[in-house]
Amino acid sequence: MEQKVVILTGASRGIGHATVKRFNAAGWRVITVSRHAFASECPWLSGKVDHVQFDLSDPQTLSAGIEEIRSRLKGGKLHALINNAGISPKNEEGGRLGVLGTDYADWVSVFNVNLFSTALLARHLFDELRAAGGVVINITSIAGSRVHPFAGAAYAASKAALATLTREMAAEFGQYGVRVNAISPGEIATAILSPGTDEIVDHDIPMNRLGRPEEVAETIYFLCTDAASYVNGAEIHVNGGQHV
């Protein structure tokens, strides 16, 4: 039986950590990307060997990193690319960065990580995705469709653009048998959350609780299986009803 291959950015913690565990449990080969070395708190078989360390915010390391990934695929198939890494910078007090508080360098790094790297990874790994009839999953956010009390302006704008990019890629890649979808999480119990999220849970989430990273991972996994073979260009909300 052919072993399927997934590449996931930002696997060291949070949603990415839960997702690589899910794919590994299903027997996939998992190749991960993040700035730091393989996280020993997030171990799985071959995890260390298949970790590629580079910074998605730096165009030069991104190019070299993509080459390294391609060399590991050896011209073979890529069944899923999951663009999960994301950054949401805060001000010195840990508060939201609005337009007035965001400098050019922050706009550039947020867009490099949250948006541009996703397009470039898909572009340069397209042959391998096409060979597999693969899937691209972009992780957007509820902050991309409404003003959020903690997510900043650059983060929200990057996630709105990522939803648009998902549609663009779905329209362009569909004819080659490559599906592209987005998952839009709400408030998921990870390090990215800010103090004060409890109030959102009480007032804005019909299910009155945070989501678990594993609940996001299951939806990502579903989209990468044949059970979702006709799902293309969708953005699925995983937020306990926060968007309604």
Ligand X SMILES: NC(=O)c1ccc[n+]([C@@H]2O[C@H](COP(=O)([O-])OP(=O)(O)OC[C@H]3O[C@@H](n4cnc5c(N)ncnc54)[C@H](OP(=O)(O)O)[C@@H]3O)[C@@H](O)[C@H]2O)c1
Known catalytic residues? 155
Applying CB under 6 A, among 20, 56, 78, 121 the residue interacting with ligand X is 56
Q: Does residue number 57 form part of the binding site for ligand X (CB under 6 A)? A: yes
Closer Cβ to ligand X, 14 or 47, answer by number: 14
Applying CB under 6 A, among 21, 23, 34, 224 the residue interacting with ligand X is 34
Q: Does residue number 242 form part of the binding site for ligand X (CB under 6 A)? A: no
Interface stretch with ligand X, choices 20-28, 52-60, 174-182, 200-208 (CB under 6 A): 52-60
Interface stretch with ligand X, choices 84-92, 95-103, 121-129, 221-229 (CB under 6 A): 84-92
Number of Cα atoms under 13 Å in the Cβ half of residue 206: 7
Region 122-141 residues binding ligand X, contact defined as CB under 6 A: 139, 141
Q: Does residue number 19 form part of the binding site for ligand X (CB under 6 A)? A: no
Interface stretch with ligand X, choices 97-105, 171-179, 180-188, 220-228 (CB under 6 A): 180-188
Instruction: Using alpha carbons, list the distances in angstroms from residue 120 to 72, 105, 139, 186, 196.
Output: 17, 20, 15, 26, 35
Residue 87 Cβ, how far from ligand X at the closest point, in Å? 5
Closer Cβ to ligand X, 12 or 166, answer by number: 12
Applying CB under 6 A, among 6, 7, 8, 15 the residue interacting with ligand X is 15
* HEC assignment per residue over the chain: CCCCEEEEECCCCHHHHHHHHHHHHCCCEEEEEECCCCCCCCCCCCCCCCEEECCCCCHHHHHHHHHHHHHHHCCCCCCEEEECCCCCCCCCCCCCCCHHHCCHHHHHHHHHHHHHHHHHHHHHCHHHHHHHCCEEEEECCHHHCCCCCCCCHHHHHHHHHHHHHHHHHHHHHHHHCCEEEEEEECCECCCCCCCCHHHHHHHHCCCCCCECHHHHHHHHHHHCCHHHCCCCCCEEEECCCCCC
Closer Cβ to ligand X, 123 or 229, answer by number: 123
Q: Does residue number 50 form part of the binding site for ligand X (CB under 6 A)? A: no
Residue 191 Cβ, how far from ligand X at the closest point, in Å? 4
Applying CB under 6 A, among 6, 7, 8, 12 the residue interacting with ligand X is 12
Applying CB under 6 A, among 7, 23, 28, 84 the residue interacting with ligand X is 84
The closest alpha carbon to 32, from 4, 65, 60, belongs to 65
User: Which residues form the interface with ligand X (CB under 6 A)?
Assistant: 9-16, 33-36, 55-57, 84-87, 113, 139, 141, 185, 187-188, 190-193
